[in-house]
Amino acid sequence: MNYVKKFIRDLSKMEGNIYLVGGYIRDKLINPKIQPEDADFIYDGDIVSLIKNLNQIGYKFFPIKKEIDIYRCMIGNNTIDISKINGKNIVEDLKERDFTVNAICMKLGENKIIDPFDGRKALKNRIIKMVTMDSLNNDPIRILRAIRIYISYGMHFNLDTENMIEKSAYKLKNAPKERVLSELMLIIKKDEQGNAFEILDTFSILKNLIPYVQELKTVGKCKYHIEDVFTHSNLTYKVFKDVIKKRIVIKKLDYSIFDVGFGKFTMKEYAAFACFVHDIGKYKAYKKENNKVSFLGHEEIGADICKNICNNLKFPKKASKFIETVVGAHMYPLYLFKNNRENKEAYFEFFYKYNEFAMEIILISFCDNYATRILLDEENEKEEYSKFIEDMFSEYKIYVDIRKNKLIDGNDIINILGNKGPLMTDIIKDIYKLIYTGKIKTREESIQYINKLK
């Protein structure tokens, strides 16, 4: 349910000048049928009394920046912010906004649009324009917000705004990391076509967010790649977006795994980020000997780099662990394809080692290989590897079902052997493997196996 409309009706009954401003108005002007989930209001009056009155009728507003009078209420999936007017009047408040398309408001009770900086004209012309020349200097996070608007609505910058973005992008290095991460993930979330990192690079932003961006453009061409690492990383990310949007279909892929949330975002966003950085270790791993290029160990190097990136940008701990893990393991499925395609024990070891992240590693390996084979596929590997990946998804489901439908548990082992601790873990793993490889089929056979260990 969208609670914003009801809140607007309730707010309209309050005294004082109240304005609905920013993204809600922008999105409604772009598409009147849309129902934005978030809304921002400006209040010209005693905001403490207003918040008290709203809470008395059932809302639960709390201060998020009490020193500058900004309050928030979460209702279902809706986020509602109210802030005290900044300046002597609404025009002065709007002048402090970032872009003219966000400096439009509607006065409640009158349904009157106030647009002193021609934001509607900018919307019509698909132009993102700073309200003033200081708009980005006041808050460099607005640079990332500009890219989000650019991607979300297919808009473009006017020349002054474009030049200022490129000139000010370095300031993102010292911006609050939690806000940088939030905006970066929102950009990835809104990116339907898989162009986000290319666009961030075009406007000289990406190198201020992620290390080795420039260096990755100088290495990568080898026996397996005709493109540099940066180009390949963008392609891998784009393939991932195509898979998520089902423009590329993979049978047996459980799409629901990408709805799992870590913090404010889901596995969709974190896996997309992992796709882009999966080869980030190649610059440091690069070696050329006897005219042969190699990147031995780039996965482990990349995992360490990603650990530092995640710590710096304040990723949630579980998201950080996920990104480090999949970057460090993204070559594993290809190794199985090349060397152990018929070896179920090798499959089991992979599934057991990576367990909760195994499916994501398999998918990122697919995206990596697919991106490579788009440009170079002399051995017609793309279709064969796609079939292998689908088979791996099927095998992983078998593995998961075995783990869920346990034939024995730790109590059985204790009752028979009296053992606890690491040995018990090893025995359970061995039994899982024997079941997966078809050597044990029943509980009775599992018990017999344990009894032989006496």
User: What is residue 295's three-state secondary structure?
Assistant: coil
Name the phi and psi angles at 406, rounded to 5.
-65, 130
Vertex 9, ends 5 and 14: CA angle to 5°? 140
One DSSP character per residue, 395-418 reads: HHHHHHHHHHS-S--HHHHHHHH-
Structure tokens at 3: 């609670």
CB 34 within 8 A of CB 25: no
Residue 289's pLDDT is 85
Predicted confidence pLDDT, tens digits, the chain (454 residues): 578 888 888 888 888 899 999 999 999 999 999 888 899 999 999 999 999 999 999 999 999 877 789 999 998 888 999 999 999 999 999 999 999 999 999 999 888 899 999 999 999 999 999 999 999 988 999 999 999 999 999 999 999 999 999 999 999 999 999 999 999 999 999 999 999 999 999 999 999 999 999 999 998 777 777 789 999 999 999 999 999 999 999 988 999 999 988 888 999 999 999 999 999 999 999 898 888 888 889 999 999 999 999 999 999 999 999 999 999 999 999 999 999 888 999 999 999 999 999 999 999 999 999 998 888 666 678 889 999 999 999 999 999 999 999 888 888 888 888 766 668 888 899 999 999 999 999 999 999 988 888 7
The sign of the torsion formed by the CA atoms of 432, 434, 439, 440 equals: negative
CB 286 within 8 A of CB 295: yes
Vertex 252, ends 336 and 325: CA angle to 5°? 50
Name the phi and psi angles at 34, rounded to 5.
-70, 150
Nearest C-alpha neighbor of 146 from the set 203, 72, 217, 88? 203
User: What is residue 303's three-state secondary structure?
Assistant: helix
One of 3.40.50.10880, 3.30.300.130, 3.30.1330.60, 3.30.460.10 is the CATH number of 1-119, namely: 3.30.460.10
Name the phi and psi angles at 166, rounded to 5.
-65, -35
CB atoms closer than 10 angstroms to residue 209: 22
CA dihedral 50, 51, 54, 59 (to 10 degrees): 170
Q: Which helix (H) or strand (E) holds 234?
A: helix 229-244
Where are the domain boundaries for CATH 3.30.460.10 in the chain? 1-119
User: What is residue 21's three-state secondary structure?
Assistant: strand
What single-letter DSSP state applies at residue 275?
A: H
Q: Would the pTM count as exceeding 0.85?
A: yes
Nearest C-alpha neighbor of 419 from the set 454, 373, 448? 454
Residue 288's pLDDT is 85
> How deeply is 329 buried, as exposed, middle or buried, from its count of CB atoms within 10 A (0-12, 13-18, 19+)?
buried
Residue 267: C-alpha distances to residues 101, 263, 316, 359 (Å): 31, 10, 12, 12
